Amino acid sequence: MALDSQIAPNNLQFLAERPRPQRGTYFVQTWGCQMNEEDSEQLCASLEQIGFTPATTIQEAQVVLLNTCSVRKKPEDKAFSLLGFLEKQKKARPDMVIGVCGCMAQIRCDDIKRRAPHVDFVLGTGQITQASSLVEEALVARKFRSRLDLPERKGAVVEDIPQRHIRRTPKLKAFVPIQYGCDKFCTFCIVPTTRGRERSRPTEDILEEIRGLAGQGTKEVTLLGQTVNSYGKNLAEGRVPFSDLLWQISEIEGIERIRYTSPYPRDFKSDLIDTIRDCPKVMEHVHMPLQSGDDEMLKAMKRQYSVASFREIVAELREKIPGVGITTDIIVGFPGETDEQFENTLATVEQVGFDGAYMFIYSPRPGTPAATMPQLGYDLKLGRLERLTELQNRISRERNAAQIGQTFEVLIEGHSPREKELLMGYSREFRQIRFPGSTERVGRIAKVRVTQAHQWGLSGELL
Ligand code: SF4
């Protein structure tokens, strides 16, 4: 069975407070975004705190947790397919515990219970640290359980920030959630329903976690939030602008690079652009979702910006930060998208010249306003995706070709998974670069000159 993004449990071992008696083994299967990957680390920590150890394969694990994604239909289908496989496993090993966590658990609890009665529990996005108590309960008495509470109201939700297990295995690069939920309610998106209203983590909590990471050798942090640049509202300490948070993190010794994803265009103001330019540790890369290059479509999606205002941000970024890397997300085939509106997206993509893009076919998410709108046919949507992909691939190739001869500062992450004899890393502009070099350089920041360009990134030589 092909599994999307298998979390390698050995990379996710957290340091327990004290030695625990050894129990069985666990396996966490993850789909979806970086926030989900981060949540999976928390799930692992929660299980290791009660003595479970990572299994090498899903087949041998006593406890299997599926951390699911509902942003598109495909990962939901994969989760149900894996649950079918696990049903057979559980018949052979009745002591197995199966839990479904994450966004699909949050909104499809009844479906899961009906279609997969062998599941022991479902756990929503706000309660991931309760995984261990649900596993303990399932081991004692077999009965379906669910924990799905989410903060309901806008404001007064800071106290609902999940408790975090923040002690983890040393890593060169780490994700740090700074904000949970979302208040934007784009018509295609299920996230405000699955993750609740927007709430920011207290600044001191974030700084403390990052100080701890720096102490363990982390050099690069990626700050996570659904609209990460709207961070800092409704905090007990008063409003903390996102740019202030970046400056505060930059004072932490040992942290050398700071990234964040994903900013919301309407909230992308000049103070943030100035911070990217002026703060030496903030990387010169912006991943800013466009979604559509047509104003009518943006309105139908309830995105709160226009194509012109998006392009103004890009222009200011490029004027103040020459060489900045800009990437995006785009949806094609949103309900009602006409040929002309799709052509406007192609034209915007051509004019902006993104370094890279994640491009998706719209898929209706039950419970969202767009799911009730008249839908376009799949073949039409697929044809549009192919045209957009072809265009973006050509632009990426051209933009990469323009980097030949340039020198970039690269954090060396390790050997390239595809060409094992080469080292690889990312530049401050988030350009992937591969180059010859010895293993002892891993973990260091080095200058690399680009000698070749490809669609996926660059090849070069260490200086
Ligand atoms: S900004 Fe829109 S697309 Fe992003 S998480 Fe919020 S509702 Fe979803």
Per residue in 326-369, pLDDT (tens digit) is 999 999 999 999 999 999 999 999 999 999 999 999 999 999 99
Q: How far apart are CA 403 and CA 38, in angstroms?
A: 33
Q: Say which amino acid occupies 179.
A: Q
- Which amino acid residue places its CA nearest to atom 5 of ligand 1? 226
Domains for the chain: give ranges and CATH numbers: 5-147 (3.40.50.12160), 170-283 (3.30.750.210), 289-402 (3.30.750.200), 407-462 (2.40.50.140)
pLDDT, one tens digit per residue, over 398-441 is 999 999 999 999 999 999 988 889 999 999 999 999 999 999 99
Determine whether 320 is exposed, middle or buried from the number of CB atoms within 10 Å of its CB (0-12, 13-18, 19+): middle
More confident residue, 162 or 259: 259
| Stronger pLDDT, 104 or 160, i.e. the higher one | 104
Banded model confidence at residue 129, pLDDT cuts 50, 70, 90: confident
| Cis status, amide bond into 132, omega within 30 of 0 | no
Percentage of residues of the chain with pLDDT beyond 70: 91
Which of 154, 195, 226 for a ligand 1 pocket mutation test, highest count of atoms within 8 Å of Cβ?
A: 226
Residue 250, both tokens: 């930059």
Tokens 């609890």 correspond to 109
User: 265: Cβ below 6 Å to ligand 1?
Assistant: no
Distance of CA 160 to the CA centre of its chain: 21
Q: How far is CA 291 from CA 159, 362, 378, in A?
A: 32, 10, 18
Q: Is the pLDDT of residue 24 over 70?
A: yes
Å from CA of 3 to ligand 1 middle:
26
Q: How far is the CA of 289 from the centre of ligand 1 (A)?
A: 10
Q: Identify the helix (H) or strand (E) that includes residue 205.
A: helix 203-215
Separation between Cα atoms, residue 395 and residue 218, nearest integer Å: 33
What whole-number percentage of the chain has pLDDT above 90? 72
266 lines ligand 1 (CB under 6 A): no
For ligand 1, what atom is nearest to the CA of residue 303? 2
Q: Give mean pLDDT, residues 226-254.
A: 95
What are the φ/ψ torsions at residue 412 (nearest 5 degrees)?
A: -80, 115
Band the pLDDT of 245: cuts 50, 70, 90: very high
CB of residue 185 inside a 6 A radius of ligand 1: yes
Per-residue pLDDT, averaged over 262-276, amounts to: 97
> Taking phi first (over 0 means left), then psi (-120 to 50 degrees means alpha), and beta for anything else, what does residue 292 get?
beta
Q: Ligand 1 mean position to 335 CA, how many Å?
A: 17
Does residue 441 line the site of ligand 1, with CB under 6 A?
no
Rounded to 5 degrees, φ, ψ at 326 are: -130, 120
**Does residue 182 have its Cβ closer than 6 Å to ligand 1?**
yes
- Residue 69 Cα, ligand 1 centroid: separation in angstroms? 14
> What are the helix (H) ranges across 93-180?
103-107, 109-115, 131-140
The CA distances from residue 460 to 317, 325, 446, 454, in Å, are: 26, 18, 12, 11
Rounded to the nearest whole angstrom, what is the distance from the C-alpha of residue 367 to the centroid of ligand 1? Answer: 14
Is ligand 1 within 6 A of the CB of residue 331?
A: no
Atom of ligand 1 nearest to the CA of 183: 6
pLDDT of residue 194 exceeding 90, the answer is no
Q: Is 187 in the pocket of ligand 1 (CB under 6 A)?
A: no
- C-alpha 434/C-alpha 444 separation (Å) is 14
* More confident position, 110 or 391: 391
| pLDDT at residue number 18 | 46
Please tell me the distance between residue 410's alpha carbon and the centre of ligand 1 in angstroms: 31
Check pocket membership of 66 for ligand 1, CB cut-off 6 A: no
Ligand 1, atom nearest to 195 Cα: 5
CB neighbour list of residue 420: distance below 8 Å, 6 or more residues apart: none
Q: What's the order of all strands across the beta sheet hosting 173-177? A: 173-177, 220-224, 257-261
pLDDT at 196: 87
For ligand 1, atom 2: residue with the closest CA: 186
Does residue 262's CB lie within 6 angstroms of at least one atom of ligand 1? no
Q: How far apart (Å, rounded) are the C-alpha atoms in residues 140 and 11?
A: 30
Q: What is the pLDDT of residue 72?
A: 86
